[in-house]
Amino acid sequence: MKAPPTILLDGEFVLEPWKPEDAASHRALAEDAAAARFFGWTVEEARAQPDSRYLDVVRQFHEGWIAGTRFSLAIRQRATGEAVGAVEARPVGDSVEVSYLVAAAFRGRGLAPRAVDGLLGWVTRELGATKAVLVCDLSNIASQRVAKKCGFTPASRAGNEVRFTRSLANSAC
């Protein structure tokens, strides 16, 4: 598998590979109450983890990239180098499942849609993916807005989750 790319989003943000020194930023993302409720853990569980757990997660991102099972990139502020979010694609056949997370201080600035589009452009070119799937909680209105901004359309609903899809064939990613 190719090495993780650097994808310029704009003058302020870039997608880059996770680094061991990003473990503290990953911890901060995991301890965000607004995000934790949608990702299946509690803030208390995140806080109870030793620092080594977050370093292990960053290592797992690297291992997943090498294995071709999980393409996770840090959303990085160019000026400081700080990881302020994450975007990820997991291949399933000719499709990819997409997820993302942006630190609270950076939400509402259009960063998530730019990061998703940047990663989808890469998976389309490099992996030949033809479809993207994004699943979010029905109550996560902000995530649904991101999906729609990125050209996803609602496809189905199961319980508290809504599934969005987007064709990547002939897409302008």
**For 116-156, what is each residue's pLDDT tens digit?**
999 999 999 999 999 999 999 999 999 999 999 999 999 99
The residues that bridge with 162 in the sheet, in sequence order, are 136, 157
User: Each residue of 56-90: pLDDT tens digit?
Assistant: 999 999 999 999 999 999 999 999 999 999 999 99
Rounded distance between C-alpha atoms, residue 152 and residue 150, angstroms: 6
Q: Architecture of 7-167 per CATH?
A: 3-Layer(aba) Sandwich (3.40)
Residue 173 has pLDDT above 50, yes or no: no
User: Each residue of 86-101: pLDDT tens digit?
Assistant: 999 999 998 999 999 9
Domain boundaries, the chain: 7-167
pTM for this predicted structure: 0.93
Q: Do the bridges between strand 161-167 and strand 7-8 make them parallel or antiparallel, or are there none, so unpaired? A: unpaired
Rounded distance between C-alpha atoms, residue 135 and residue 126, angstroms: 23
Q: Do the bridges between strand 95-102 and strand 161-167 make them parallel or antiparallel, or are there none, so unpaired? A: unpaired
